[in-house]
Amino acid sequence: MIDPSLTVDGDSFNGHLQDIELLIESAGLLFEPHAVTSIEMGDSSLFIQRGEHQWRIGSSLLGHQNLESHEVYVDFEPSEQSRVDATAVECTYIAVGVYSAKTTFDRVLSSDGASLAKVEARDLDRSRQWQYLGYVVGLIVHQFAFDDAVLIARSLLDVSRGTWPISYAQFARTHEPTKQISIGKAESDSQATLPFPKLIHQDIGLYPVVESVEWVKKLLELGVKTLQLRIKDPAVPHLEESIKDAIDEAKRYGAQLFINDYWELACKYNAYGVHLGQEDLLTADLVLLKKKQVRLGLSTHGYYELLRAASLSPSYIALGHIFPTTTKQMPSLPQGLNRLKRYQELVNTLPTAQRLEVGYPTVAIGGINLENASKVLKCGVTTVAVVRAVTESLDLSKTLDQFGQLLERPRGDSDANG
């Protein structure tokens, strides 16, 4: 908790910062309790100390316009430059209330000028600017991603005081329509809003993620019905041949095989499914995947990415990474069980395109094994994805049976701390 004796200038900014920290804590979403140790207001910056790291945060509310000297800059009077296209900035830049012909939105730009997020929003009343700044800053220093901080801060202004947003209706809609993502040929635009095909086997079972066709064959022989081929090195010998071989084998067993990343090869050989990360959405031809009736799984690491994924109506949504993992370089911190449970609550309310239902199948991934899988499943996810728990197993058949038993058990509310 922030020391209540700490004070800063600026229309009870400190109070708003304390409010958001209490709310994060009450929602069970603090990564490191008691992490913020000091807050100072300089002539033109906020200095916030969390552990060994100090954040220098600027804002147009403080009358300072030098982006170069800050890690985060929140601009309530965005320039014409920020209203058009992303341009290189020296820090993470949050522009509040950017106007376009159709809507008002907040934009998050990274230090390399890439647009991290656009959150659709109403005009922000001047009386609430300090509150909004306090919420954004509080979320960032408590290790929420920048895009999540903006999304959550906006939604908190519209929900009852002291209430953490849970449902789709409580969140500001992301301004990331399919037109901002590669969808292929122009004449295919009308197909951009169509949903991806549903999974044939809605009871997914255990979802192993393996890096070779040999592992795919071994798991298929043991009865696994859903799995992913994730070949990390694009220069691996016989890459295309391996992917084709894996796809053919999965078809022979009637299994749901997802190819990670290599969507062109997946289309070429009529794969059952493709799994993509958020960054892959900028280059993958989603319309072609739909034409080929390829199922789509999408990785997410927070609220913003969840809503962005849902806007594409995928076949399933992956939530991660839950625990520390060494199998892949991750762009975010381990999310933990409490955040996983919150993400699943949101998924349960997500409307699906052209379907008279809500929610998507979900796959939790990241550091999951036999010891912690039951706690993960109690968060309400459809299933769990595993890597080392399978590939390093000393008795693979027994391990698969044990996971199968866990997946068949009734699931209650998670009482685990994450």
Q: Which residue ranges form the domains of the chain, and what is each CATH number?
A: 13-167 (no CATH), 179-408 (3.20.20.70)
Residues in contact with 221: Cβ distance below 8 Å, sequence separation at least 6, in sequence order: none
What is the pLDDT of the chain when averaged over all its residues? Answer: 85
Among 85-89, 96-100, 301-305, 345-349, where is mean pLDDT lowest? 85-89
**Are 387 and 208 spatial neighbours (Cβ–Cβ below 8 Å)?**
yes
Q: Tell me: is residue 329 an annotated ligand-binding position.
A: no
Residue 154 labelled as part of a binding site: no
What is the secondary structure of 159-227 as a DSSP string? S-TT----SGGGSPPB---GGGS----GGGGGGTTSPPPPPS-SS---EEEESSHHHHHHHHHTT--EE
Is 326 annotated in some ligand binding site?
Answer: yes
Determine the Cα angle at 32 with ends 26 and 33, to 5°: 50
Whole-prediction pTM: 0.90
Known binding residue 325? Answer is yes
Q: Which residues are CB-neighbours of 349 under 8 A, at least 6 positions away?
A: 166, 167, 168, 169, 358, 359
Q: Is 300 annotated as a binding residue?
A: no
pLDDT digits (tens, 9 = 90+) for 148-198: 999 999 999 988 878 899 999 888 766 444 434 433 333 345 566 789 999
**CA–CA dist 116, 108 (Å, integer):** 5
d(CA 231, CA 260) in angstroms, rounded, equals 7
**Is the model more confident about 139 or about 416?**
139
The response to whether 295 counts as a known ligand-binding position is no
**Is 261 among the annotated ligand-binding positions?**
yes
Q: With 70 as the cut, is the pLDDT of residue 129 above it?
A: yes
- Amino acid residing at 233: D
